[in-house]
Amino acid sequence: MKPTGTDPRILSLASEVVKSPEQNVPVVLLKLKEIINNTPLGSSELKKIKQDIYCYDLIRYCLLVLSQDYSRIQGGWATISQLTQILSHCCVGLEPGEDAEEFYNELLPSAAENFLILGRQLQTCFINAAKGEEKDELLHFFQIVTDSLFWLVGGHVQLIQNVLQSDHFLHLLQTDNVQIGSTVMTMVQNILHINSGDLLRIEAKTLHSILDEVIFKLLSTLSPVMRNTATKLLLLMAQSHQEILILLRLSACYKGLRSLLNKQEPGTEFCQEFRQLICLLSPKVHQEVEEQKLHQAACLIQAYWKGFQTRKRLKKLPSAVIILQRNFRSKRAKILLELNRQKEEEDRRLQLQLQRQRAMRLSRELRLSMLEIVHPGQVEKHNREIEEKSALIIQKHWRGYRERKIFLQQKPSLVEYKAAVILQRATLKFLAKCRKKKKLYTPWQGFRELTDARRIELKQQVDDYVRRHPGSQMSDVTSRELHSQAQERLQHYFMGRALEDRAQLHREALKAQISTNIEQLIKAPNLKEAEWKEPELFLSRSRPVVAKAKQDHLTTLKHIQAPWWKKLGEEAGDEIDVPKDELSVELGTLFIGGTKPP
């Protein structure tokens, strides 16, 4: 997936790389250096440019160019050295995103290995060069490649172990040339300054090879520059890790190292480092004895531990062999099953392909036979009809697929909507029941009658309470006045409540009468269609009410007498529908009190 908002310079450069011939690609890639140099260091714009370079595979193009023969590249070593700088600067500070595993496990190790291979090729060219100017130029290119490798390793510390364990690095370190050897050892010294812990993670054989080469250059080289660099590197390795120092002191391979160093005459430039190295390799006698004891104790512990592990492994060997055989057989069975399944799928696929080809051939033959039957003037019309039918079939399948997809997307929301409706319905039913209960128990029921025994008991409780809680004295006249006032207020309250209830009932009756009159007027026929009985319905105030009450009563009776299967799916509060022909309203047989008879 290409990133949005890509730098137009990167886009144009990527298109130019794709369109250019193979011999011009390295020169085109050199334009990346100008783009990177014109962007401020550490800015978000530089990070975005590096991501764009990686997303458009320009880094891989640089790797492919570096893996080619330098003699076939336009510009030779000058172009290659600049490409190494570009590659190292693009990889450092890059955030690969989704392709992080491929970037760290494949691309970066491949780049470091290519840098080492280029270093070996430059080393060979430098040795074979005859002119001094050519050697200086090759040495300059070699320095650029090593600096690029150091910049790459400094940005990605996990590559240190890969570089130190590479065979190409050992070949570079084992050179006899003073300038190249000092450059390589300086690069190693800078790498160890970044992270010296990876030195102990490499294989013991590789570590011994590096130590042997550094010591050989220190003892056998006459060049002061080489000896100075080797002394600083060996001193750094010994100071960084106690294990390497113990190895140089006690190992049989370096037994005479201290005496050989004492015989050497250090130069004035590195006299201090040389003396520090001799002091590190010349411990006191008790320190040597103590280290020897520690070494022997460690060897003894390792021997016991290895013996224990070996005995434990031998005990588990039969079960391990059985488990290994079982796993091998199960894996082989799975492989055979997978092969059979693949073969069946391949046969099924071939059979389906043959059926499709056969069906296609039959359809074409049928079409040709139909074309032979059709009149030449109707061929175009026939073809157009076939195309329209095909288009309709395609549209039908596409619309069906689209609607199924939309339904699957809307299915969760539909389920949620139905659940919400059910919850709301249950909540409304519960609230209606609560209101009904509240309405039933709200009216005042009055006091229950008191018996003589209950009166005596209550009077005794009142007397006890008054005796325990004596209050202010009140005369009989005052108490009678208060009692009469309370009785008057209570009577006034009950009378006002009765009047209010009657007024409420009257209002409800008026509303029912008005709604019934409105309904009767709406349903009334035209004057031309009206019969002699229908105008009588509007003569009396009671007739609409009687008709409505009778209609509701008969509707309720019909609904109660209906079988249970007709009531399925009904909800509380739904209106009851009964055909009008089943209702028989006799308006002249009813009389409601308070109204005039018809």
Print the domain residue range for 430.
378-438
Band (89; pLDDT cuts 50, 70, 90): confident
Rounded to an integer, what is the distance from CA 291 to the centroid of its chain?
A: 54
User: What 3-state class would DSSP assign to 597?
Assistant: coil
Mean local confidence (pLDDT), 412-438: 91
Residue 358 domain-assigned?
A: no
- Residues 6 or more apart whose Cβ sits within 8 Å of residue 275: 266
Question: Look-up: residue for tokens 């209106």?
Answer: 575
By three-state DSSP, how is residue 504 classified? Answer: helix
Taking 90 as the threshold, does the pLDDT of residue 564 lie above it? no
Of residues 350 and 592, more confidently modeled: 350
Q: Is residue 104 part of a domain?
A: no
Mean pLDDT of all residues in 260-285: 59
Look at residue 574 and tell me whether its pLDDT is greater than 70.
Answer: no
Could you tell me the CA-to-CA distances from 360 to 139, 258, 348, 370 in Å, in that order? 71, 90, 18, 15
Largest CA distance in the chain: 148
510 close to 560: Cβ distance less than 8 angstroms: no
Predicted local confidence at residue 598, as pLDDT: 38
Are 242 and 268 members of one domain?
yes
Whether 336 is in a domain gets the answer no
* Residue 281, pLDDT score: 66
Read off the tokens for 446.
């009055």
Tell me what pLDDT residue 1 has: 45
Number of domains, the chain: 4
Question: Who has greater pLDDT, 236 or 418?
Answer: 418
Task: With cut-offs at 50, 70 and 90, classify the pLDDT of residue 278.
Answer: low
Distance from C-alpha of 486 to C-alpha of 478, rounded to nearest angstrom: 12
**Which is higher by pLDDT, 133 or 461?**
461
Q: What is the arithmetic mean of pLDDT over 141-149?
A: 81
Mean pLDDT for all residues in the chain:
76
- Count of CA atoms in the C-beta half-sphere (13 A) of 322: 4
Residues 228 and 288 grouped into a single domain: no
- CB-neighbour burial class of residue 145 (10 A; exposed 0-12, middle 13-18, buried 19+): buried
Mean pLDDT of 176-195: 77
Chain-centroid distance of CA 361 in Å reads 49
Residue 268: pLDDT band with limits 50, 70, 90: very low
Domain boundary among 258, 281, 304: 281
* pLDDT over 60 at 376, yes or no: yes
Q: Within this chain, do residues 276 and 290 fall inside the same structural domain, yes or no?
A: no
Confidence of residue 265 (pLDDT cuts 50, 70, 90): low
Q: Which residues of 354-373 are buried (b: 16+ CB within 10 A; e: fewer)?
A: eeeeeeeeeeeeeeeeeeee
> Alpha-carbon distance 526 to 519, whole Å?
15
> Which whole number is the average pLDDT over 572-597?
45
Distance CA 575, CA 443 (A): 29
CA 598 to chain centre: 83
Residue 151 included in any domain: no
Tokens of 267: 């130069």
Residue 401 lies in a domain: yes
Place of tokens 């450069």: 13
Mean pLDDT of 519-530: 73
- Identify the domain boundary among 315, 339, 365: 315
- What's the pLDDT score for residue 332? 93
What confidence score (pLDDT) does residue 398 get? 94
Per-residue pLDDT averaged across 282-296, rounded?
63
Q: Are 242 and 291 members of one domain?
A: no
Q: 129, 138 in Cβ contact below 8 A?
A: yes
Cα gap 171→598, rounded to integer Å: 129
At residue 393 the predicted structure's pLDDT band, cuts being 50, 70 and 90, is: very high
Query: Are residues 520 and 583 located together in one domain of the fold?
Result: yes
Cα separations (Å) of 413 from 285, 406, 408, 416, 559?
Answer: 85, 12, 10, 5, 36
Q: Is residue 561 part of a domain?
A: yes
Structure tokens given for 75: 């510009």
Q: Say yes or no: 261 and 288 in one domain.
A: no
> Which range among 215-219, 425-429, 484-488 has the greatest average pLDDT?
425-429
User: What local confidence, expressed as pLDDT, does residue 146 receive?
Assistant: 83
What is the residue whose two structure tokens read 């590195």?
270
Q: If you ran DSSP here, which 8-state letter would residue 268 be given? A: S
Same domain, yes or no: 252 and 302? no
Q: 578 and 558 in one domain?
A: yes
The per-residue pLDDT for 231 is: 72
Query: Do 269 and 289 belong to one domain?
Result: no
Nearest CA to 149 out of 84, 91, 94 is that of: 84
Does the residue 424 lie in any domain? yes
Please report, for residues 126, 202, 303, the alpha-carbon distance to residue 252 in angstroms, rounded to integers and kept in the order given: 37, 21, 20
Predicted confidence band of residue 99 (pLDDT cuts 50, 70, 90): confident
Confidence at 253, pLDDT banded by 50, 70, 90: low
Residue 285's alpha-carbon distances to 274, 282, 391, in angstroms, are 21, 9, 99
Q: Is the pLDDT of residue 451 over 80?
A: yes
Beta carbons of 210 and 197 less than 8 angstroms apart? no
> Which two tokens mark 135?
């050697």
The answer to whether position 481 is within a domain reads no
pLDDT tier, 205 (very low <50, low <70, confident <90, very high otherwise): confident
Distance CA 197, CA 240 (A): 8
**Residue 344 structure tokens:** 């069946």
Cα 180–chain centre separation: 50
Say if residue 227 is in the same domain as residue 288. Answer: no
pLDDT of residue 587: 38
Pair (257, 304) in one structural domain: no
Q: What is the DSSP string of 173-230?
A: HT---HHHHHHHHHHHHHHHHH--GGGTTS-HHHHHHHHHHHHHHHHH---HHHHHHH
- Taking only the tens place, the pLDDT of each residue in 303-353 is 999 999 988 888 888 888 888 899 999 999 999 999 999 999 999 999 999
Give the per-residue SS3 of 228-242.
Answer: HHHHHHHHHHHHHCH
Q: Which of the listed residues 297, 315, 333 is the one where a domain comes to its end?
A: 315
pLDDT tops 90 at residue 400: yes
**Cα separations (Å) of 62 from 28, 58, 514?**
10, 6, 94
Which of 195-199, 361-365, 586-590 is least confident?
586-590
Q: What is the rounded radius of gyration, in angstroms, for the C-alpha atoms of the chain?
A: 53
Same domain, 253 and 299: no
